[in-house]
Chains A and B, each alone.
Chain A
Amino acid sequence: MNARNAILVGALGILIVLTFFAPPYFMHLLIQILLWGFIYTAWSMMGRFGFVSLGHGAFMGVGAYVPVLLWNYYGITPWLGIPLGVALAALLGLVIGYPCFRLRVVGHYFALVTLALSQVVLLSIVAARDITGGSLGLSQRAVGFSWYALQFPDKRYFYAISLVLWIGGLAVWRSIDRGIGRQVLDAIAEDEEAAAAVGIDVMREKLRVTVISAALTALGGAIYGQYLMYLNPETVSGIAVSLQIVFAAIVGGMYAMLGPTVGALLTIALNEGLRVAFATNFIGAANTIYGILLMLCIIFMPRGIVGLLEPMKFRRAQPKPQEKLAA
Chain B
Amino acid sequence: MDIYLLEAIVNGILLGGVLALLALGLNLIFGVIDVVWIAYADIVMCGMYLVYWLYTGFGWPLPLACAATIVALAVFGAIVHLLIIEPILGSAPINQLLATGGLLFFLQSFATLLFGTDFMNIGVRLPIIELDGIYISFARLLAFALALVGAVALYFFLRRTFMGTAIRAIAQDRDIISLMGVDQRRIYIVTSMIGGALAGLAACLLVLQYDVHPFIGNTFGPLIFMICVLGGLGNMIGGFVAAFVISQIISIGGYYSNTELSYVLAFTFFIVLMFVRPRGILAR
| Chain A interface, DSSP helix/strand/loop, else mixed | helix
Q: Which of A119, A246, A285, A327 contacts B222 (CB 8 A)?
A: A119
Q: How far is the CB of B2 from chain A (nearest CB, A)?
A: 23
The stretch from A11-19, A64-72, A156-164, A295-303 touching chain B is A295-303
Given contacts A295-B106, A298-B95, A302-B95, contact A123 B113 (CB under 8 A): no
Name the CB-closest residue of B to A244. B105
| Structural contact, A322 and B90, CB atoms closer than 8 A | yes
Tell me the count of chain B residues lying within 8 A, CB to CB, of chain A: 48
Q: How far is the CA of A123 from the CA of B222 in the complex (A)?
A: 12
For residues 253 through 269 of chain A, which have their beta carbon under 8 Å from a beta carbon of chain B?
A: none
| Chain B interface, DSSP helix/strand/loop, else mixed | helix
Q: How large is the interface on A (under 10, 10 to 19, 20 to 34, 35 or more residues)?
A: 35 or more
For residues 110 through 125 of chain A, which have their beta carbon under 8 Å from a beta carbon of chain B?
A: 111-113, 115-117, 119-120, 123-124
The stretch from B10-18, B122-130, B191-199, B267-275 touching chain A is B267-275
Residues of the A chain whose Cβ atoms lie less than 8 Å from the Cβ of B93? 107-108, 327
Binary contact readout A304-326 vs B (1 if CB under 8 angstroms, 0 otherwise)? 00000000000000000110011
| Structural contact, B225 and A302, CB atoms closer than 8 A | no
Residues of the B chain whose Cβ atoms lie less than 8 Å from the Cβ of A176? none
Q: How far is the CB of A89 from chain B (nearest CB, A)?
A: 16
| Structural contact, A284 and B113, CB atoms closer than 8 A | yes
Q: How far is the CB of B33 from chain A (nearest CB, A)?
A: 12
| Inter-chain residue pair count (beta carbon < 8 A) | 156
Q: Is A96 an interface residue (CB 8 A)?
A: yes
| Structural contact, B268 and A112, CB atoms closer than 8 A | no
Q: How far is the CA of A108 from the CA of B26 in the complex (A)?
A: 14
Q: Which of A115, A127, A288, A302 contacts B91 (CB 8 A)?
A: A302
| Structural contact, A103 and B260, CB atoms closer than 8 A | no
Given contacts A285-B113, A295-B102, contact A124 B260 (CB under 8 A): yes
Binary contact readout A115-146 vs B (1 if CB under 8 angstroms, 0 otherwise)? 11101100110110000000000000000000
Residues of the B chain whose Cβ atoms lie less than 8 Å from the Cβ of A290? 105, 109
Q: How far is the CA of A239 from the CA of B225 in the complex (A)?
A: 13
| Structural contact, B225 and A294, CB atoms closer than 8 A | no
Binary contact readout A90-102 vs B (1 if CB under 8 angstroms, 0 otherwise)? 0000001001100
| Structural contact, A105 and B222, CB atoms closer than 8 A | no
Name the CB-closest residue of A to B98. A298
Instruction: State the A residues within 8 Å of B (CB).
Output: 50, 52, 96, 99-100, 103, 105, 107-109, 111-113, 115-117, 119-120, 123-124, 126-127, 239-240, 243, 246-247, 250, 282-288, 290-295, 297-299, 302, 321-322, 325-327
